[in-house]
Chain A
Amino acid sequence: MTMEILKQGIGTLFGDPDPDHAREFFRKKSRKMESKLMSVKDAVEKFIHDGDYFASGGFGANRISVAVLHEMLRQGRKNMGLAGHTMTHDFQILAAGKVFNKLDASYVVGLEARGLSPNARKYLESGEVDVTEWSNYALAVRFKAAAMGVSFLPFRGSMGTDTFKYGGGKTITCPFTGKTYMAVPALYPDVAAIHVHESDIFGNCRIKGISVADIDLARAAKRLIITTEKIVSSDKIRSAPALTAIPYYLVDAVCEVPFGSYPGNMAYEYFSDEEHLQEWLRVEKDPEEFKRFLDKNIYNCKSHIDYINLNGGMEKMLTLRKKEILFHHKERTGGGDI
C-alpha cells in the first residue's frame, strides 16, 4: 500500500534520498584509523568535484571552513548543489565564485544584522540558480533523516506557506493519530566541510559551543573535510571520549587551519572581524572593485595564511582573540556575585 500524498511542493528535489543507495556508498567507506592529514588544496582537489552537492558547517559567519570555501573558488568549482542552511558569509563567498546553480535555500543572501550581500542577491535574482525553499529546521531534519539512514522524517512546520509550496516536501497523514505532517526527504550531501576546534590526525573531532546542524551533517555527508584550529593527540581524544562530536570514520580529510573561521567568529578563540565583513558588503556594490577585492583576497592567495596576512596578520588575530577572550574574562571577574 502506498501512502497518500495530500499536497506537495513544486521545488526541485536535488540529490537522492534513497537509503539503500547511501548504504552502498557507506559500506565502502574506509573504517581504517589512518592519518588523513593533508593540505586544503589537496582535500578540495580530491573530495570536492564539479556538480557535487555541498554543505557548509557552522552557522554563516560562525565556525565556518573559510579555507575550503576560498579554495573551491581558486579551483573554479562549478555547477554544484548547495544546502543553504543558514549560510551568510559562507554563501557570500560561494556566490562570488558562482560555484553553485542548484540551491536548497533556508537562509541565504543575508548576513543577519550586518545587512544583505548585493552580489549574492544579484546572483539569485538573475534566474541562473534553481532555488528550492525550506526552513532551517526542515533542512536540519533532512540531515537528521540521512544520519539515521532513512529516506524521510515527519516534520510539523511550513504547511500552508509558500515555503512549502516552493519546497520539496509532501504532506502525509499519520497512521496513528491522523495528524497531517510534512514529509521531508533525507539529504545526503556528496561532500561537506566543517571547521572544528580540535581534531586528531585521524579525524576524531571536538567542537566547543553550539553544534548547529553539524552532528547530523557530518553523518549525512558522503565525504567530509575537516579543518581544525589545531591538531591534538589521539591520547587527548581517548582521555575524554564523551567530548568527541565527530568520529574519525566519517572523515576523509583533516587540514590544520589556525584562525580557520576568520573573518567569522570561533567560540572561545576569536571574535568575527566586523570591519572586514563590512568591507565585503561595501565592495560588492561595485562589480569592478569587487573583482579586484576577490583577486587580492582569494584568487591571488595561495592559502588562508596569505589571506590573513593581507588583513592584519597575527596582530589582527590577537586583537580578535582579545575581543573574544578578554570579554569572557571581564564578565567572569567583574560582577562580584558570580
Chain B
Amino acid sequence: MADYNTMELMVTCAARELIDGSSVGVGTGAPCAAAMLAQKTHAPNLMIVFEAGGVAPLLPEMPISVGDSRTYFRGIMATSMSEIMDTCCRGMIDYTFLGGAQIDMYGNLNSTQLGPDHSHPKVRFPGSGGANDFASFCWRMMVITPQDSRRFTEKCDFITTPGWLEGGDSRAKLGLPKGCGPYRIITNMAVMDFEEESKRMRIISINPGYSVKDVQDNCGFELLKAKKIIETVHPKEEELRVLREEVDPSRIVIGR
C-alpha cells in the first residue's frame, strides 16, 4: 500500500470522478490539482475551463488566480467570462468543483458571511464570484473539503451558492436548470453523494482509518447511509507519482 496524506487522497478521489472527454470548470487549489491529475492520467481529453475566460489550457503548473496567464497557456481560446458562463448555461460543462465556509445537507454552500445580519456580518468572505453560476449550470457539482461539524452545518448563515436548495425538486421549481446539482462531496474522512428523492447528503464510501461514526460525529446534521458503504480506494503509485512530480511539485496543495 502506498503512503499518502489525506489531501493526496482527496485530490485523487476527485480526479477519478472526471471522465475522459468531458468538461470541467475549476478554480485554483485542490480542484485544479484534481483536474490536472485527471488530465495527466486517465482523462487526457478532459477540457478544463476557468471562469475568467481560459479554455482548454495544457496546464504546466498551478495557477495562482483563475485569471492569470497560466489559465490559458497553450489553450484553444482566451475569451470572456460571459462566453464561459454562457457555455455552462447552455449545458456544455459537465463538472465543477466548489467550496465554502459552510455546507448543509443539500449541498448548499456559504462563501459570503458568518452571522445572521447581512448589513453587519460577523465575518465577511468574498461572496459568490463565479461559484453560484457554476453551481447553477454545470451538470455535476463537487466539493473537496475537510470534514468538521462547524463546516457541515444544519443551516448555512447565508446560501451563496445553490446545492439542492430545499431538497426534492425545489431546485428546478425555483427556476434553475433541470437535472444538474451537487454530485459528490469529498472529505478527508469519506465520500458522499445525494439520495435521489430527498436530495440529502449520503455516505457512499469511507476513507481508510475512519468509521461511519467518525464521519457522523464530524457533521452538524444527520447523514444518510448508502445500503452498501465501501472503503475508498487507495491512490495508486502512478497517481501519486504524477500528482507529486508533475501536478504539484511545489506542494502548494498536497503540502497542506
A positions within 8 Å CB-CB of B: 58-62, 84, 86, 88, 105-110, 112-114, 116, 121, 124-125, 127, 130-131, 133-138, 140-141, 144, 156-163, 166, 171, 179-182, 208-216, 265, 267-268, 271-272, 274, 324, 327-328, 331
Contact = CB atoms under 8 A, between A and B. Distances in A.
Contacts of A106: 127-129
Interface class of chain B by DSSP:
loop
A71 B135 CA distance: 38
Contact of A112 (B28, B89, B159, B161): B28
A116 B125 contact: yes
Nearest to A59: B67
B65 A212 contact: no
A60 B67 contact: yes
A110 B125 contact: yes
Contact of A60 (B53, B65, B69, B72): B65
Interface residues of B, number: 59
Nearest to B253: A113
B16 to A, nearest CB: 24
Interface of B: 27-29, 51-54, 60, 64-69, 71-74, 78-82, 85, 89, 108, 112, 118-133, 136-137, 158-162, 165-166, 170-171, 174-177, 252
Nearest to A180: B175
A103 to B, nearest CB: 10
Contacts of B130: 86, 107, 135-137
Contact of B175 (A88, A140, A160, A215): A160
Contact of A107 (B123, B124, B128, B170): B128
B175 A171 contact: yes
7 contacts: A86-B52, A136-B128, A140-B85, A156-B136, A166-B118, A166-B158, A182-B175
Contacts of A267: 69, 72, 78
Nearest to B51: A136
A61 B65 contact: yes
